[in-house]
A and B are shown apart, each in its own frame.
Chain A
Amino acid sequence: MSLLHRTRSTDDLPELTPAQLAELDALDAALAGEDIADDALADLVRDVRSTAPQLRPEATQHLNERVAARFGTPVTGARRRGLLARYPGSAPASRPRC
């Protein structure tokens, strides 16, 4: 669980050299689909991206439905007033006042 504990720690890492910075720039270029001189890095980008975990279609469908339903957001405020105007009597009743 080291991810939990090292989030905000300041690693004692050395400053990057120009060559290392160039390697990171090449990585960004490869990820953007550009041709780069470092063939091994280009291959690595392609290979790693091919292993990206994919959402199952049924999970995507379920998530789409939850998003479309706005996660069951309580109908309040302006949205409730809009619903009442369009569908009188159909919107959930507001909470009774004590």
Chain B
Amino acid sequence: MSETLSATMAPPRRPTLEFDALYREARSDVYAYVASVVGDRATAEDVVAITFERAYRKRRGFDPSRGTARQWLFGIARNAALDELRRRQRVAVPVADAGRHADAVLAADAGHASEGDARTEVVRAAIADLHPRDRELIALKFFAGLANSEIAGTLGITEANARQRMHRALRALREACA
């Protein structure tokens, strides 16, 4: 069999996921997103660790034809965060309003904002008061920097629907910050 024919018949090799590079590039963004969803710093740290452990174990299943590595990773992070929210429901731990938790974690973790900055406080409170679905979108866009197509893939919706939802969330945020 000629080399050319062998090469033609060989199954296409799937590109390998560069796990360490993805970890270094995305860990802060994953944390910012997860903290916005679960609203608790310690829980967010646990969920981020679970996210990367699951990603590491599933890395060979990553298929670039189905989306970017970041989209894939944030899908794992989202599932891990939802698992945590479901667990809280099951064990009936009193979960106060997620917005208040989010407000607290945003206040505790904000990196660049100076304390007492009135504008920062307004923005932080506005994000915390958003509907959870809008807060998640804001986190995926502003903190994780995902494109609308990646957000669509992460949420399992169409890109057109992702744009509609993003615009609704942006409008809510602009009104709250006005």
Contacts and interface: CB of A to CB of B under 8 A. Distances in A.
B132 A52 contact: no
Interface residues of B, number: 62
Contact of B156 (A8, A48, A54): A8
Contacts, number: 144
Contacts of B37: 3
A27 B138 CA distance: 11
A39 interface: no
Interface residues of A, number: 43
Contact of A4 (B86, B110, B113, B163): B86
A76 interface: no
A54 B32 contact: yes
A54 to B, nearest CB: 4
B71 interface: no
Contact of B173 (A23, A44, A59): A44
Contacts of A11: 161, 164-165
A53 B106 contact: yes
Contacts of A49: 112, 142-143
